[in-house]
Amino acid sequence: MTSHGPLKWQFGTLAEVVQETPRVSSLHLDVPDWQGHLAGQHVDVRLTADDGYQAERSYSIASAPDDPRLALTVERLDDGEVSPYLVGELRVGDRLELRGPIGGFFVWRGDVDTPLLVIGGGSGVVPLMAMLRHRANIKSTVPARLLFSSRTQADIIYRDELSRLGAAGDGLTVFHTLTRERPAGWTGYTRRVDETMLKEVAWPKQDSPAVFICGPTPFVEAASQLLVGMGYEPRSIKTERFGATGGTA
Amino acid sequence: MGFVSRGFRGKRRDNVSSSRVPPGQYVVADFPVLSAGPTPHVNIDQWTFSIEGEIDEPKRWTWKELSALPADTVTTDIHCVTKWSKLDTTWKGVSVDTLMEGVDTAADFTTVYSDGGYTTNLTLDDVTGNKAWVVYEFDGQPIEPQHGGPLRFFVPHLYFWKSAKWVRGIRLQKEEHPGFWESNGYHIRGDPWREQRYWGD
């Protein structure tokens, strides 16, 4: 666990914006006082209006620990307060107040041989991408599988980069599923994650992979329960959930 | 004048008194679910709730026994460390004061523990004096598994990670033992009004 004392608010400067999909962009920040992080951790971002009003939100770190810039990948939520500012208003050269890294549990250090199974729904892929980028940086050949659920082909965040990582021949396989589209020539799955899909993608329980699942709550709930049903040890499954649930209880 | 985020306006929710919303929080109308692992499966027939540790005789209740104890209905605001706050939430359950009736202890600290291995630490002072409950209903309905049902701990004056889901017992202790999130970067106490989110805050 990276432990650097109190997490002070600090500034990053936006150096580059990379549009990943129509609603998702990555912000590449120069953060001079950044103390380092582990793949899977997140930052708190704080915006201040000119009358002193402030809003804070958390965003997973997309960049790997050894990457030169801190990257946040943000999905613009139409009814959001902070995301429409980050994706749409914030410009190269602007400063952004943040603190971190936060969270010592949902992290992958890459220092053990356990196979890695990461399952992401939409922007839930962000902390998992930090893990896969870290895995590539440290030239790990630990067997790894990503199951990534997106709405449509155009919504697949990091699509090209994932193709390259998956073709590197270092033991990573990337599986995609689309829930709202069936494009011509598509070779991936075209439905919500279910038991049949997981049995094809996930290792048998005896292989005891480390599992990280991230995305909207219903997605995480479904995927985690399916793995438990397949005999996976619940404690081997780490989950991170975000976004609206829609429910009242 | 301090730092200003160029071009940021924010969404003011004017119909909510800002005195009810702790620093850094925003109000939600839905009820987000956050947890570190899969929702545990609970067998209610074998389920018990215990108070143990620094106590002469551990106390234990079955589901039936716990359900028969005098219950309170509490309406209050809840605040998650992930920044969302939900106002005027209504819960029903048994006060920890009721559970602790007749208990003599030298303990100043507790660990609240749950199915699935989750723990959180609380001072005895933070869970007594009408500050904490074990709850089984939210908004008049049994608490859903993903929200911590059948029983969750409820200590609304602190960040909601302290309101342990799937709670099974309270261990009374002479020393403080950081729980799950408290061992993973989160503040040992978690007072939202002092914005005690992380270590060192």
Positive/negative CA dihedral, B63, B64, B68, B73: positive
CATH 2.30.30.50 fits A10-102, yes or no: no
Residue A246 has a pLDDT of: 40
Give the pLDDT confidence of B118-133 residue by residue, as tens digits. Answer: 999 999 999 999 999 9
Inform me whether the C-beta atom of residue A231 falls under 8 Å from chain B C-beta atoms.
no
Q: Over pLDDT 90: what percentage of chain A?
A: 94
**Domains in chain B: ranges and CATH:** 22-28+70-194 (3.90.420.10)
Quote the percentage of chain A above a pLDDT of 70: 95
pLDDT value at residue A244: 53
Q: Where in chain A is the domain with CATH 3.40.50.80?
A: 116-242
Question: Residue B107 above 50 pLDDT?
Answer: yes
Residue B13 has pLDDT above 70, yes or no: no
The confidence score (pLDDT) of residue A247 equals 39
**Residue B16: pLDDT band by 50, 70, 90 thresholds?**
low
**Tokens standing for residue B27:** 């109000």
Selecting from A105, A106, A221 the residue whose C-beta is nearest the C-beta of B39 gives A221
Contact B36 A238 (CB under 8 A): yes
Whether pLDDT at A165 is above 70: yes
Cβ-based contacts of B117 with chain A (< 8 Å): 235
Instruction: With CA atoms as reference, report the closest residue to A7 among B185, B111, B48, B65.
Output: B185
How many Cβ pairs closer than 8 A exist between chain A and B? 134
Residues B143/B89, Cβ–Cβ less than 8 Å: no
B34 token code pair: 């956050």
* Amino acid A224: pLDDT: 97
Chain B closest CA to A238's CA: distance in Å? 5
Mean pLDDT for chain B?
95
- Chain B interface test: which of A81, A214, A238 (most B C-beta within 10 Å): A81
B138 CB neighbours in chain A (<8 A) are 249
| Domain boundaries for CATH 2.40.30.10 within chain A | 10-102
The whole-number average pLDDT for the span A23-37 is 97
Give the least confident one: A80-89, B15-24, B37-46. Answer: B15-24
Q: Do A47 and B10 touch (CB under 8 A)?
A: yes
Q: Is A1 a residue whose pLDDT tops 60?
A: no
pLDDT at B198: 96
Of A47, A102, A249, the CB nearest to B5: A47
- The C-alpha of B167 sits at a distance from chain A's nearest C-alpha, in angstroms, of 17
HEC per residue, A137-192 = HCCCCCCEEEEEEECCHHHCCCHHHHHHHHCCCCCEEEEEEECCCCCCCCCCECCC
A247, B3: Cβ pair inside 8 Å? Answer: no
CB contact under 8 A, A50 and B4: yes
Beta-strand ranges (E) seen in A31-69 are 42-48, 54-60
Q: What is the ipTM of this complex?
A: 0.92
Architecture of domain A116-242: 3-Layer(aba) Sandwich (3.40)
* pLDDT at position A248: 33
Name the minimum distance, in Å, from the CA of B69 to any CA of chain A: 24
- β-partners of residue A147 are A119, A175
Tokens of B7: 């071009």
| pLDDT, position B180 | 97
Contacts of B71 (CB under 8 A, 6+ apart): B92, B93, B94
What separation in angstroms does the CA of A223 have from each of A120, A199, B149, B161? 10, 11, 20, 23
Tell me: the pLDDT tens digits for A174-223? 999 999 999 999 999 999 999 999 999 999 999 999 999 999 999 999 99
- Please say whether the beta carbons of A83 and A75 come within 8 A: yes
Contact A49 B9 (CB under 8 A): yes
| A137, pLDDT greater than 70 | yes
- Average pLDDT, rounded, for chain A: 94
**Confidence band (pLDDT; 50, 70, 90) for B72?**
very high
The alpha-carbon gap from A9 to the nearest alpha carbon of chain B, in Å, equals 11
CB contact under 8 A, A249 and B10: no
